[in-house]
């Protein structure tokens, strides 16, 4: 039956068969993909690491640990939270492949001023065979309230 097919159709058929075999061998669509709970856990751990100022931990949760731009952004997001207080509300809510977590915290500066920051962190998780890692993240529209030590001492309404 293959001998009657034109050479071009035979080539296409062989190519399709080869691709299907490779996909099956690589585990595409297999049950080894991490569960939703595992993906949520990875996203939550990443969010907590960022807001604890633990850049190395956050970088370790990235899907591609060689992506220089994403590593730089992760370190930049975690740096202001080193030695500051922040809380992340777990569990987050799912939005497609991403997880959204509410956060709030206070960053104190050496001159006595401080910032009260709250907002969302959106963490996109890439799930591959047996592994889940952070593919990207965003901190859209944070609400920042600035204050000074004098504000908190003199104006009880600001507490």
**In the structure encoding, which two tokens stand for residue 157, read together?**
């309404």
Q: What is the pLDDT of residue 152?
A: 52
Class of domain 32-158: alpha beta
Q: What is the pLDDT of residues 4-50, one digit of tens each?
A: 545 544 444 444 444 444 444 444 444 577 889 999 999 999 999 99
Dihedral over Cα of 63, 69, 71, 77: its sign: negative
The pLDDT tens digits of the residues spanning 107-119 come to: 888 888 888 999 9
Residues of the chain with pLDDT > 90, as a percent, come to 51
pTM exceeds 0.75: no
Distance of alpha carbon 2 from alpha carbon 5, whole angstroms:
5
Q: What is the DSSP string of 82-135?
A: TTSEEEE-SS-EEETTEEEEEEEEEEE-TTS-EEEEEEEEEEEEEEETTEEEEE
Which among 101, 99, 129 has a CA at the least distance from the CA of 31?
Answer: 129
Predicted confidence at residue 97, as pLDDT, reads 85
């Amino acid at each position: 039956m293959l001998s009657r097919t034109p050479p071009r159709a035979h080539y296409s058929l062989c190519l399709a068969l080869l691709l299907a075999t490779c996909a099956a061998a690589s585990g595409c669509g297999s049950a080894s993909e991490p569960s939703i709970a595992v993906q949520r856990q990875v996203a939550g751990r990443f969010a907590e690491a960022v807001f604890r100022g633990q850049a190395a931990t956050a970088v370790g949760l990235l899907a591609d640990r060689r992506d220089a731009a994403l590593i730089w952004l992760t370190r930049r997001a975690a740096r202001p939270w080193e030695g500051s207080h922040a809380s992340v509300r777990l569990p987050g809510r799912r939005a497609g492949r991403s997880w959204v977590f509410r956060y709030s915290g206070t960053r104190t500066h050496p001159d006595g001023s401080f910032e009260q920051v709250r907002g969302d962190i959106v963490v996109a998780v890439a799930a591959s065979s047996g592994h889940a890692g952070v593919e990207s993240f965003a901190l859209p529209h944070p609400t920042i309230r600035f204050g000074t030590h004098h504000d908190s001492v003199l104006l009880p309404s600001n507490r």
